[in-house]
A = this chain, B = another copy of it.
Amino acid sequence: MGIRERKERERERRRQQIIVAAKRVFSDKGFNKSTMEDIAKEAELSPGTLYLYFKNKDELYASLSLRILQYLIIRLEHVNGNNEMDPIQKVEALNEAMFDVYEFDPLIIINMFHLQSSETLKNLSDELLREIEDLSRKSLGVIAGIFQEGIDKGVFIDEHPIALADIFWSLFSGVILWESSKSIINGNKDYLRDTLKIAFEVFVRGLKKA
């Protein structure tokens, strides 16, 4: 391993350390109430150091989303690649995978939507922006692939698989967001799991060919 390569690896390690800290802080306080100093403290680094690895706060946030998106894709591909499941089982596995990812990092949903803000996008480097688009498209693509298979096998209704993937993702994130927002007023968190379950039962029933 060359010296340059070692440096590169060291640099990547540091980046991850910061991202992990940022995740904890953002989870705790949300984007706007989290300060760069909070994150630096959590990472046991100084604020200045953060800027050696990330251009600005928005880019740090986006990188965080990127990382979890990568994790999501791995899980999705694993589901998709499993040839022993029929399409319906795959959708169920999809559901499981998404929930795991959500539990691993509940921020994922909110992250994805924070990225929507055009004010945020303005502060991102082109490179990062492209990467986000790629991963986003890719993960939707994998999901769409699963639906495509179902359609091809005559199990699912004949709709555009990309649209189905969007709906799947929307339903999942919608339920998460909605139940979370209600739970702050109601304090009822267990309800989320139940609602998700029913939501997917309905979704899958609606998906099946008559």
Give min CB distance, A26 to chain B, whole Å. 12
Q: Are A166 and B180 in contact (CB under 8 A)?
A: no
A31 to chain B, nearest CB (A): 8
**B198 and A170 contacting across the interface, CB-CB below 8 Å:** no
CA distance A166 to B30 in the complex (A): 24
Q: Are B164 and A170 in contact (CB under 8 A)?
A: no
Flag whether A83 is at the interface (Cβ < 8 A): no
CA distance A177 to B177 in the complex (A): 10
Inter-subunit contact B175/A167 (CB<8 Å): yes
Residues of B near A71 (CB, < 8 A) are none
Residue of B with least CB distance to A170 = B174
A164 to B206, Cβ gap below 8 A? no
- Given the known interface contacts A29-B119, A30-B119, A207-B206, the answer about A170 and B199 at a Cβ–Cβ threshold of 8 Å is yes
**Which residues in B have their C-beta under 8 angstroms from that of A119?**
29-30, 33
| Interface class of chain A by DSSP | helix
User: Would A202 and B199 be within 8 Å (CB), given that A174-B174, A175-B174 are in contact?
Assistant: no
Which of B157, B163, B172, B180 meets A174, CB within 8 Å? B172
The distance in angstroms between the C-alpha atoms of A181 and B115, with both chains bound, is: 8
B177 touches A170 (CB 8 A): yes
Asked if residues B167 and A195 are in contact (CB atoms below 8 Å), the reply is: yes
A29-62 residues with Cβ-Cβ distance < 8 A to B are: 29-30, 32-33
Residues on the B chain within 8 Å of A205, using CB: 157, 205-207
Q: Does A3 contact B (CB under 8 A)?
A: no
Task: Name 9 extra pairs, CB < 8 A, besides A166-B175, A202-B203, A205-B207.
Answer: A116-B177, A116-B181, A160-B198, A163-B198, A169-B178, A170-B175, A170-B195, A173-B177, A201-B206
